[in-house]
Amino acid sequence: MIFSSLTFLFYFLPIVLIIYYIVPNKMKNLILFISSLFFYFIGEPKYGILMIISILSTYIHGLLMDKYKKHKKKFLVSSIIISLSFLIFFKYTDFIIENINTIFNGKFDLLNLALPIGISFYTFKMISYIVDVYAGKVEVQRSFLKLATYVSMFPQLMAGPIVRYSTIEKELDERKYTFSIFLFGVRRFIIGLAKKILVADVLGDLVNNFSTVSEKTVLFYWIYAIAITLQIYFDFSGYSDMAIGLGKMFGFNFPENFNYPYISKSVTEFWRRWHITLGTWFRDYVYIPLGGNRVSKIKWLRNILIVWLLTGLWHGAAWNFILWGLLYGLLLVIEKIGLLKILDKIPSFISRIYVMFVVIIGFVIFSVSGVSQIKECIGGLFGIGVEKIVNKESIYYLLNYASIFIIGILASTPIMKNIILKLKQKYPRAINILEPMTLSLLLIVCVSYLVDGSFNPFLYFRF
């Protein structure tokens, strides 16, 4: 089950919300936990047990750390090893076998394991909890129900944001419910739904069509590259918006995950704005423990490259993800060594062009499978191995999708948001009337697309 499905919108969510608000406060965590298990078990019945075992392991290790403080480091290491073992086994075993077969000409059979949905996200949540308990940043959670509710909570189980236990620790005990907060959650959810269905999915059709076109031109390669760049942003930020909106409906305040990354003037800034909760997770639980920038320059550069190698691997068990991560690691090193000073001095539109060029190239690498496809697509962008710069078919696709490109580009910047805020200040009554009408219309259009459209799951479910 996904958020952008009729089953979720018209059956699961309304039923859960009604029950959730009917029951007394002391039972709300139980309802949220049961509904989250149901949500997960529908799509992953076998791996739902795996998630419960992982949560139980983290819960027990937390209690042991609290009781036997002299040995808490051993329990910390044990808990992390168990959590990472599940992640590595299911996500990376076949990748390891493939590379062993390639390097040593081996003939080991692949396990062909299905990747448990959301395992990358809930594993990182459990690791952050156990590390923070070890460091004394949070109190150990003695209620299995509360810890399990935190880890399995369906609004942010599948694709983030990566909510830390410290962020919602108090809200697991007591939450604030007001009609205005609930309506804000509904508003945020509808905006995310529109991003997913009306922008990301439409661009997804164009991306899928790209692979079926026999004669690709330089123009069509660039159309594809820009489409995949916008699709990934609206797909993932749309999910994050829906997750944050659902959190509000249930009384939780989830952290923001995107802050208009495509207006960045450096790659360093881009990664402060893109997938914020993942970036801060790697900073706090990998980069700083390795020494951060408070070590020699060689070790500092090593720390950056380790973080970005792991960032690439976290996204997927394939070489294109590793190359994507190392590309950003290398660019961040170059910026920190001296390029940032140059970028600060040049006109901002030039620095933004540099960032978007890098991001587009990066997402082409990110989206394809195999080194040969990377060479083909990157080469195609610059006319290598392509006979024509433009043809009638590429012009057709450009014109056919021009409106969605314009909408996507504008909506990926704060322009529309700033216009709405100014209009609210100038015409508050009119906007207060028009806003719910517009949101209602957006919801109706989204539902219409769902009724007539095909199944299109979130891209980040693969990771």
Spell out the per-residue pLDDT of the chain, length 463, in tens.
788 888 999 999 999 999 999 999 999 999 999 999 999 888 777 888 999 999 999 999 999 999 998 999 999 999 999 999 999 999 999 999 999 998 888 888 898 888 888 899 999 999 999 999 999 999 999 999 999 999 999 998 887 799 999 999 999 998 988 999 999 999 999 999 999 999 999 999 999 988 888 888 999 999 999 999 999 999 999 999 999 999 999 999 999 999 999 999 999 999 999 999 999 999 999 999 999 888 988 899 899 999 999 999 999 889 999 999 999 999 999 999 889 999 999 999 999 999 999 999 999 999 988 788 899 999 999 999 888 899 999 999 999 999 999 999 999 999 988 998 888 888 888 888 888 999 999 999 999 988 876 556 555 555 5
Chain-centre distance of CA 244, in angstroms?
12
Sign, CA dihedral 296-301-302-307, equals: positive
Q: Does one domain contain both 159 and 143?
A: yes
Domain end, chosen from 160, 175, 190, is at 175
What pLDDT score does 402 carry?
A: 94
Tokens, residue 123: 């594993």
Q: Does one domain contain both 315 and 259?
A: yes
What pLDDT score does 462 carry?
A: 53
275: left (phi over 0), alpha (psi -120 to 50) or beta: left
Q: Does one domain contain both 198 and 60?
A: no
Q: Does one domain contain both 187 and 168?
A: no
In a domain, 11, yes or no: yes
In a domain, 76, yes or no: yes
Q: Does one domain contain both 114 and 251?
A: no
Q: Does one domain contain both 296 and 343?
A: yes
Tokens 């952050």, residue located:
128
Does the annotation count 61 as an active-site position?
Answer: no
Q: Does one domain contain both 188 and 298?
A: yes
What residue numbers bound the domain in which 261 lies? 181-462
Please return the burial class of 437, using the count of CB atoms within 10 Å of its CB with bins 0-12, 13-18 and 19+: exposed
In a domain, 26, yes or no: yes
Q: Does one domain contain both 192 and 170?
A: no
Q: Does one domain contain both 146 and 188?
A: no
Q: How many domains are contained in the chain? A: 2
In a domain, 1, yes or no: no
Q: Does one domain contain both 166 and 199?
A: no
Domain end, chosen from 122, 140, 175, is at 175
Tokens, residue 83: 């959590």
Q: Does one domain contain both 70 and 112?
A: yes
d(CA 59, CA 144): 7
Q: Does one domain contain both 419 and 328?
A: yes
What pLDDT score does 44 carry?
A: 72
d(CA 267, CA 274): 10
Tokens 């100014």, residue located:
422
Residues 236/159, Cβ–Cβ less than 8 Å: yes
In a domain, 213, yes or no: yes
In a domain, 137, yes or no: yes
Domain end, chosen from 175, 201, 219, is at 175
d(CA 92, CA 84): 11
In a domain, 317, yes or no: yes
Q: Among the residues of 176-255, which ranges form H helices?
A: 179-194, 201-212, 218-249
d(CA 455, CA 442): 19
Given the residues 61, 71, 275, 315, select the one marked as catalytic.
Answer: 315
Chain-centre distance of CA 373, in angstroms?
24
d(CA 278, CA 159): 11
What pLDDT score does 246 carry?
A: 96
In a domain, 455, yes or no: yes
